Amino acid sequence: MDQITAILDRLLALHPRQIDLSLDRMHRLLAALGNPERRLPPVIHVAGTNGKGSVTATMRAILEASGKRCHVYTSPHLVAFNERIRLGEHGKLVDDPRLMAALDRCEEANGGNEITFFEITTAAALLLFSEEPADVLLLEVGLGGRLDATNVIDRPLVSVITSISHDHEKFLGNTLSEIAGEKAGIIKPGCPVVSAPQEDEVQAVLDRVAARNRAPITRFGQEYTASEDQGRLCYQDDDGLYDLPLSSLTGGHQIINAGLAIAALKTAGLLPDEATIAKGLKHVVWPGRLQVLTHGPFVNQCPEGAEIWVDGGHNPGAALRVAAFMGEQEERHPRPLYMISAMLTTKDPIGFYRAFHGLVRHVATVPVKSTNAAHDPFELADFARTAGLEATPFDSLQAAVADIRRCAARDGEPPRILVCGSLYLVGDVLAANGMAPK
């Protein structure tokens, strides 16, 4: 066991028996650390259900194309914890010695008190961000917003709200309005807000919270729009039209995410000229989101000629986007679609799988090596069948791939394979394929 894993395991042991979303533990620890949250670069705070990582990655690419130094905080990671923290120039992942030192300081300052894993590791990230110069900090919410550990920022440059849908109902509420109310908790008095397209009841909540805080709000479809036209990204607001290349990220939903990123940077006063935006859009990197695998050890295990996609989306809203993309692929180039899937016990498997009804030939449910919080494959296969899909449980990823090889040999046709339902599973696949993010 390496030193990073050892200290992360110790911090997990401090986790309260029952998660109660609260900022009290966070404020206590930050005070003991000398309040690093008060010494940060200007912050762009990002909340929402789907698209947070893609929007953050797009903003980072555009800012770095303009020569800005960005700190970036995202979660969860795919392979190594270091992926959550990028520091300064060129957005390099925090190295092991600096991460170890920050975690040690937080562990000592916490003094053995109960604290969630996300809270104490977020404190470590804020400590690192406070000690190295940067032009901006892109800060992604972990869960919800109002009581999330990142919500210790008093005056962000802009609060960004990506699309909101059902997820984490146990903590955020069972209705879209309740969930939106929690996400809207990052809106601060007098600080501008930028929102992606939302359901009417969600937008009503965001408008109401923004008005109460006298926070000017910029909304998709009203103050700005983004659309695809002949293979180009058209971004338009009251100041005019940008004719841009599409983002390097795959999927129609990335049009919306790119538009939100541009609107957020413009609202923050950080948007560069059109040529620099274009340069940034061509170099957005966000692993594990509709990522195609073309070579590597895992690819070599799959049927020859297979088209292999991985996506970490894990709620019904994300499933709809991925299913829409897979439907487009099927129209362009028909192939039998096989799914390899795992999912955490906190998710909605039936809602997720329903999006793929009539599209997927077979679902292989598998365990996840990197977490104990995933559904048993047999239980997950039952959920997939309830959603109308044909499903078989397997005791390993390798066994699922071997079954797809047998089916492909029988059919005489290279398949399309989608690995999805869990970022942990996608991380396992990327690690197995020698593609851990750098």
Which tens digits make up the pLDDT trace of 22-79? 899 999 999 999 999 999 999 999 999 999 999 999 999 999 999 999 999 999 999 9
Of 286, 287, 292, 216, the closest CA to residue 257 belongs to: 286
pLDDT at 168 over 60: no
14 pLDDT tier (thresholds 50, 70, 90): confident
Question: How much is the pLDDT for 95?
Answer: 94
13 pLDDT tier (thresholds 50, 70, 90): confident
pLDDT at 17 over 70: no
What stretch of H or E contains 341? Answer: strand 337-341
User: Which ranges of 14-84 does DSSP label H, i.e. alpha helix?
Assistant: 24-32, 52-65
Question: How much is the pLDDT for 18?
Answer: 65
- Does the domain at 291-433 match CATH 3.30.465.10? Answer given as no
Question: How much is the pLDDT for 173?
Answer: 62
pLDDT digits (tens, 9 = 90+) for 328-352: 999 999 999 999 999 999 889 999 9
β-pairing, 158-161 vs 85-87, is: unpaired
Between residues 286 and 173, which one has the greater pLDDT? 286
pLDDT digits (tens, 9 = 90+) for 214-265: 999 999 999 999 999 999 999 999 999 999 999 999 999 999 999 999 999 9
Distance between CA atoms of residues 58 and 248, nearest Å: 9
Question: How much is the pLDDT for 403?
Answer: 97
Number of neighbours of residue 399 by Cβ within 10 angstroms: 14
pLDDT at 170 over 60: no
The answer to whether 37 touches 145, Cβ cutoff 8 Å, is: no
pLDDT digits (tens, 9 = 90+) for 287-325: 999 999 999 999 999 999 999 999 999 889 899 999 999
Look at residue 413 and give its three-state secondary structure: coil
Query: Which residues, including other chains, have CB under 8 Å from residue 85's CB and lie 6 or more apart?
Result: 71, 72, 73, 93, 94, 99, 125, 128
What is the pLDDT of the chain when averaged over all its residues?
94
Segment 361-367 mean pLDDT = 97
Question: How much is the pLDDT for 411?
Answer: 85
Question: How much is the pLDDT for 248?
Answer: 96
pLDDT at 169 over 60: no
- Does the domain at 3-282 match CATH 3.40.1190.10? Answer given as yes
276 pLDDT tier (thresholds 50, 70, 90): very high
The answer to whether 208 touches 245, Cβ cutoff 8 Å, is: no
Cis before 303? omega within 30? no
Question: How much is the pLDDT for 181?
Answer: 94
pLDDT at 19 over 70: no
| Domain extents in the chain | 3-282, 291-433
Question: How much is the pLDDT for 223?
Answer: 97
Residues linked to residue 356 through DSSP beta bridges, in sequence order: none
Distance between CA atoms of residues 49 and 320, nearest Å: 13
Q: Which amino acid is at 125?
A: A
Query: Which residues, including other chains, have CB under 8 Å from residue 334's CB and lie 6 or more apart?
Result: none
β-pairing, 416-420 vs 337-341, is: parallel
